[in-house]
Structure 1
Amino acid sequence: MGKKKKRAEREAESELLSTETINEQNDLHIANGDSKKIKKKKTKEVKEESVLKEKPTVSVALAGSIIDNTQSLELATRLAGQIARASTIFRIDEVVVFDNIGSSVDCSDPTMEDGSHDDESGAAFLFRILKYMETPQYLRKSLFPMHNNLRYVGSLPPLDAPHHLRKHEWAPYREGVTLKDRNLTSAGTLVDVGLSKYSCCYHDSFNFFCQELPYSHCMLRSIFHIASTSQPVAVDQVIAPGIRVTVSMGAERNLDAGIPHQVVSSSTPMEDAGMYWGYKVRYAPNISSVFKNCPYKGGYDHLIGTSEHGLVMKSSDLTLPSFRHLLIAFGGLAGLEECIEEDNNLKGKSAKEVFDLYLNTCPHQGSRTIRTEEAILISLQYLQEPVNSVLQKI
């Protein structure tokens, strides 16, 4: 009897232990399930944070046919320069140049399609000048081969954008072009970022001998020779030569440390430091391609068209909906109506159907016509407060 009793007690204990083990396993399984849910939740939060981190963009689209109305190459260049200046002043992120044709042929660079240096379409000409003007001065010789249509660009006022840095200026980011020469100390690439290292000069105004005096501070630079050499920086990526890149330079000027720099996205200066970093230029064969080939994820979520036939209202009364990617479109010589009518993909549609908002930003005009370069300045000033109101809420 005693043996049977002890055997029963052992069996009861083993059942209790097995039950506890099962419960612990269940608890562990539930805990693991919860951890997976937490991981998923964290992943979702990271994605939401990255979406929130992405800065809203404002794009401008205009017809390349406005160049066809100019009387000379010099005047055409000046017109393109005015558009580049307006886009920079109002911090435009993207300029889209489209043709007034119903073509279905698409290409990313119309300047490559034109074999002749003289007979270039208005859209290709405008595309070329806008890209040239946006490029920092120290990169233009490397990135733009000689072309007849660039003959008068030297007479245009500079954009003086934040990324158009002088040779002596240090900034957290700089635009550069990759060189053929390789970095000897590591498996990376040398990049010309437009920095020059000045040896020394005698500064008569302050009567002292200085080392690496900034070029802008030397009032006697035309008298005293300042020896300068180009100072490329090393990046740890291997990149083909002749490619434009954005380089993270760091907070302190130290080019002799031999520490490789990082190539970052061109949107990083805006996203991390709030610095306006110029505009991108895109070509579209017709106005429907402007919307269809939008480079931003999800496309443009709010479209604004401008015309003398549009809605008349005060800028202070205009409230824009929250947007991620805003597009403001300007027509050619006959307005947006003609651009839509000549596009086979938009046959039968009116301008008010194509755009979310169709505005007349300059009512009661004294002239019968407002030129596109004038309309861009007027409209961007008109929309500045409504757009800023949306951006401040994000």
Structure 2
Amino acid sequence: MGDERNKKRKRNVVVHQELDTSKPTAHYEPTGKGRSHTLSIAIPGSIIANCQKHDAKNNLVGRIARAAAVFCVDEIIVYNDGQFTPPTKQQYSHNFGNHDGYTGDTDPDNFLFHVLSYLECPPNLRQKLFPLHENLRTAGTLPSLDMPHHSRREFWTQYREGVTVDEKTARAMNGQVSEAPRSAKKQKKSGDTNGVAISHGTAVDVGFPTTVAIPVDVPPNTRVTVKFDSFRAPPNFPFRQRRHGEPADESELLTADPVDPAEPRETGGYYWGYTVRQASSLSAVFTECGFDDGYDVSVGTSERGVALSSVIPTATASSAPGAKRLNKTFQHALVVFGGVAGLEAAAAADPDLVEKGIGKENVSELFDFWVNACPGQGSRTIRTEEAVWVALSQMHEWVQGAWNE
């Protein structure tokens, strides 16, 4: 009887295929068409001054950078809201000690700008592009942004970020002798770019075991965006790591063209990270805009605004008939966040806005939309870095929809 029962149990066993739990986002795929639309956010540097310790300042920047990466922000503006008073030399020495070059306590705008720029840079380029600095002493402990332009050796993308290197470094990477052989000297005359010894051209480190050659002269330690001829990877990709002193194979010496850093987004359909700029005031966020036509949609955030959900076109929340909603398409959208004292205080501290009659009471007139990202909040306060996550998460579908129009 025992044997019969065991046979029946075995016949009833169902073998399930193992579930694939790998993340489909691990290898970023472009949308297939370029986009000219951009999303910008503006944040006051004074939020850094509100943190007492360096670790708190550092972690705050990391949370903002992560939000920018997750929600595909193209530009971050760090503006001065007039709410920070630099400490005197006596106060600084007594409270903070002697931090040579450290700006977290003396210039929070610069600190936020500096660390945000560092985190946006691909990790393999940081050592060459960012010298050792007190602001960055613990930035390496922050979570990775892992954006599409933070390329990995095993993933091929038609565009790639790189840093130019001198001839000596290029020869070392390519396993060549320090002195150029005669064949290389002949190569100079021929103008061949499939190597590093060329009359017009530069070697670029893009994270491969060997360098990539571009047909223009660029000074060393300059960040460049390059484009390869083919969308598909070469047959021998990923390139193997060569042993020390082993020369590069001919097929590993690639050529590429330098392109505008915006081309991967505008032509290739990639999300290619964010740029960072500083603005001297709230009004300068608008007047110093780098886009020819400025921002065509501006959103100010305040707990005195209308519910953000009520202005999003895809929202199901009820709103008054004829209520103003965000356009389904845009060119350059801007979302502005206030500091501890809010955008009202930033407007009151801006001489240019005050001269135009804009202050605490009517700062909402500066924006197309004046919204509250989290009505009915349970905490008395929502920190700026929290407001960034709350607002962008609600707007993400709207932003993506505009890109796909």
Task: Output the amino acid matched with 2:363.
Answer: A
* Structure 1 residue 82 corresponds to structure 2 residue 63: yes
The match for 2:343 is 336
Instruction: Report deviation, 1:136.
Output: 0.4
Mapped to 1, the partners of 2:102 and 2:131 lie a distance apart of 11
> C-alpha separation between the residues in 1 aligned to 2:212 and 2:270?
22
Higher helix share: 1
SS in 1 for 2:346: helix
1:189 is the counterpart of 2:202: yes
Matched residue type, 1:252:
A
> Residues 259, 134 of structure 1: CA spacing in aligned structure 2 closer, same or farther, 3 A cutoff?
closer
Moved more, 162-171 or 309-318: 309-318
Name the CA shift for 1:102/1:75 in 2 (closer, same or farther; >3 Å).
Answer: closer
Of the three residues 218, 226, 248, the one matched with 2:227 is: 248
Q: Name the counterpart of 2:16.
A: none
Match of 1:116 in 2: 101
Q: CA deviation at 1:281?
A: 0.5
Give the alignment of 1:190-269 within 5 angstroms: 190-196=203-209, 231-249=210-228, 250=230, 251-253=232-234, 256-257=250-251, 258=253, 260-269=255-264
Q: Deviation per CA, 1:218-262: give whole Å up to 9, x if none.
A: xxxxxxxxxxxxx11110011111211101133333783455310
Q: Distance in 2 between matches of 1:391 and 1:260?
A: 32
Let me know the Cα RMSD of the aligned residues.
Answer: 2.2
Length, aligned pairs only: 298
1:311 counterpart SS class: strand
* Cα distance change of structure 1 residues 78 and 53 upon mapping to structure 2, 3 Å threshold: closer
Identity %: 42
Matching residue's letter, 1:377: W
TM value normalised by structure 1: 0.71
Aligned to 2:326: 320
Alpha-carbon distance in 2 for matches of 1:189, 1:291: 37
318-327 or 77-86, larger mean C-alpha shift: 318-327
Kindly indicate whether residue 282 of structure 2 is the aligned counterpart of residue 287 of structure 1: yes
Q: Show CA shifts across 1:310-333 (max 9, x none).
A: 112534057312321110000111
Quick check: 1:278 aligned with 2:307?
no
The answer to whether the 8 Å contact 1:127/1:282 transfers is yes
Name the structure 2 match of 1:46.
none
The answer to whether the 8 Å contact 1:77/1:152 transfers is: yes
Q: 1:160-192 CA distances to partner (integer Å, 9 max, x unpaired)?
A: 111111234322111001112282145200111
Query: Residue deviations 1:119-155, cap 9 Å, x none?
Result: 5411111101100000000000000010111111121
Identify unmatched segments of 5+ residues in structure 1: 1-51, 104-113, 197-230
CA contact (8 A) 1:101 1:285 kept: no
Give the counterpart of 1:143 among 124, 129, 152: 129
* TM-superposed deviation, 1:274: 1.3
Distance 2:83 2:144 in 1: 35
Q: 1:354 to 1:90 in 2, by over 3 A?
A: same
Q: 1:154 aligns with which of 140, 155, 161?
A: 140
Structure 2-normalised TM-score?
A: 0.69
SS of the residue 1:273 aligns to: coil
Instruction: Tell me how far apart the structure 2 counterparts of residues 377 and 132 of structure 1 sit (CA, whole Å).
Output: 21
Greater CA drift, 309-318 or 290-299: 309-318
Q: What amino acid does structure 2 have at the position aligned with 1:55?
A: S
